[in-house]
Amino acid sequence: MYEVIIIGAGPCGLSAAIECRRQGLSAIIVEKNFIVHSIYLYPTHMQFFSTPELLEIGDVPFTTPNEKPFRHEALVYYRKAAELHGLEIASYEEATAIERLDDGTFSVNTVNRRGERQTRQAGSVVISTGYFDQPNWIGIPGEDLPKVAHYFREAHPYTGMKVAIIGGSNSAVDAALELIRAGASVDMIYRGDSISGNIKPWVRPIFESMVQKEKIRLHLASKVTEITPDTVVVSSVSRDESYTLENDFVLAMTGFRPDRTLMSSIGVLMDDDMDKPVYDPATMETNIPGVYVAGVIASGRNANEIFIETGRRHGALIAEHLAAKRLTEDKERN
């Protein structure tokens, strides 16, 4: 019986566990993959937009010789932060449902990598499950072909291949630049009239130069309407025009959305417009007393609404609220 079960071992889940321990609360993290799995899924050579101090949790310094840290440095940092704070993490154990018991506590049903099921109990639950497991599907013929990927890891497998990138965000731009350095032929298809205004400022001029030199073929105000084993069909967003490109692989960099299954299982209300959980921003507690949200799961359909920089602060709000509730309960018993 723990005082808090935290579901998800991303940076925000780790921060919540650290803050709970600081308040003297017993806490365990249940993680269906492994620590900071979402960062592990980032492209191998990705550099963060944020400076290291904005990624720090638990007052553990993030030291790096780089102005902006890289993915591999973040993996080391969060492992070290969890170790220094002695966090208890049940890796490869997926939470499948949450149930509120008659006494106001909770049971969390889980299954581990061997298929073994168990029930963990706690006074409160923090849902911090991130969003990388559910890509935004386009809904076009051929999107389920083996040649289509929603994750980009590194460029080497695409050497000499014709690759279509769907999207115009930082992830799409980074992938395009890595691909051309590896000798791939790149077509980038984006619905907007220009690429995202949030492109990293040190990356944008390099990307624009590659477009001007026609090393990256940029198709703006366009969308992919069909994918076949050897081609992609590109159509204009505003006109009834389309054309076909020869193609070997497709990277659909269309973003991701949070998984609401666990919140639905316990009855957390959602905002109808943005599919956003209802919670108190001062405490992160949902409409279900004792159930909290932390990190990107607290956002709506726009997963970019909350980043590590802001989500890492949710843990302190939650821990302070839980500690205050425990103090009140102790006074009432005495």
Provide the pLDDT for residue 275: 74
Average pLDDT over residues 147-170: 95
| Share of residues in the chain with pLDDT > 90 (%) | 74
Average pLDDT over residues 32-60: 92
pLDDT tens-place string over residues 245-287: 999 999 999 888 777 888 888 999 988 666 789 999 999 999 9
Provide the pLDDT for residue 311: 85
Provide the pLDDT for residue 297: 87
Provide the pLDDT for residue 260: 82
- Using an 8 Å Cβ cutoff, are 285 and 291 in contact? yes
Provide the pLDDT for residue 1: 87
| Share of residues in the chain with pLDDT > 70 (%) | 96
Of 62 and 199, more confident: 62
pLDDT at residue 304 tops 60: no
Given the candidates 3.20.20.105, 3.30.1540.10, 3.40.50.150, 3.50.50.60, the CATH classification of the domain at 148-252 is: 3.50.50.60
Provide the pLDDT for residue 274: 60
What pLDDT band is residue 301 in, cutting at 50, 70 and 90?
low
Provide the pLDDT for residue 115: 95
∠ CA 144-131-89, nearest 5°, is 120
| pTM, two decimal places | 0.86
- Does the fold of domain 148-252 match that of domain 2-133+256-333? yes
What pLDDT band is residue 35 in, cutting at 50, 70 and 90?
very high
pLDDT tens-place string over residues 197-249: 888 888 899 999 999 999 999 999 999 999 999 999 999 998 899 999 999 99
Q: Where do the domains of the chain lie?
A: 2-133+256-333, 148-252
120-125-131-135 Cα dihedral, nearest 10 degrees:
60
Given the candidates 3.40.640.10, 3.90.230.10, 3.50.50.60, 3.90.1150.10, the CATH classification of the domain at 2-133+256-333 is: 3.50.50.60
**Mean pLDDT, the chain, whole residue set:** 92
Provide the pLDDT for residue 50: 86
